[in-house]
Amino acid sequence: MPVITIDAPPLSREQKSQLVKSFAETASEVMNLPVSAMVFIINEVEPENVGVGDILLCDRE
């Protein structure tokens, strides 16, 4: 059973649903496994908790 972890900014429930559906369909095709075998974990990461280079992502916006 593949576990696919997605780190992303905060998303709406609809966005999460679309993301999981899209990833599940693609992973199913690539791995030749049923969609029901896929497990997804979405970690929402606030921009203040991400650094790019020497600056926080929230300070780049």
Alpha helices in the chain (DSSP H): 13-31, 57-60
Q: Which domain holds residue 53?
A: 3-60
* Percent of the chain predicted with pLDDT > 70: 98
Amino acid at 21: K
pTM: 0.81
Indicate which CATH number applies to the domain containing 44.
Answer: 3.30.429.10
The 10s digit of each residue's pLDDT in 21-39 is 999 999 999 999 999 999 9
**How many domains would you assign to the chain?**
1
